[in-house]
Amino acid sequence: MRKIVLITFGFLQISCYNQERKCSDFKTGKFQSETVIEGKKYSSFFERNDSIQIETYEQKTDTFSIRWTNDCEYIIQNRNPKNRAEKKPVQMKILTTNGENYTFEYSFVGDPKKQKGTVTKLK
């Protein structure tokens, strides 16, 4: 009997951590992104519709094509790359949503090294 109670309690704890993701709330709009790489904070602003993202970072603006692979994952690719690194597509995954914010992870397609960041939807 004690084992059943412990197992049931364990399932209840796990289900409490299933956070709802409302990714569709973030497919379009204006946003600010922040990520930390090797201890340095990077910030950018972008506007996105369902298939295009225009991003400004350090006073430089780039346009990206977006292909949604499911409700919470998409791939972006620079439409006007200036070098080989900019040609590589980047896989994005929304991990959690909370009101006007979401956390995400990203990497070059096929690269196991992932980075994380946060995005705030601007009004």
CATH number of 22-122: 2.40.128.380
State pTM to two decimals: 0.81
Domain residue ranges in the chain: 22-122
Instruction: Render pLDDT for 54-101 as a digit per residue (tens, 0 to 9).
Output: 999 999 999 999 999 999 999 999 999 999 989 999 999 999 999 999
Q: How far apart are CA 91 and CA 75, in angstroms?
A: 5
Share of the chain above pLDDT 90, in %: 76
Instruction: Render pLDDT for 16-26 as a digit per residue (tens, 0 to 9).
Output: 556 678 999 99
Which of the four pLDDT bands, split at 50, 70 and 90, describes residue 6?
very low
Which H or E run contains 29? Answer: strand 29-37
Q: How far apart are CA 56 and CA 43, in angstroms?
A: 9
**Of 6 and 123, the one with more pLDDT:** 123
Whether residue 107 has pLDDT greater than 80: yes
Q: How long is the chain?
A: 123
Nearest to 77 by CA among 105, 53, 111: 53
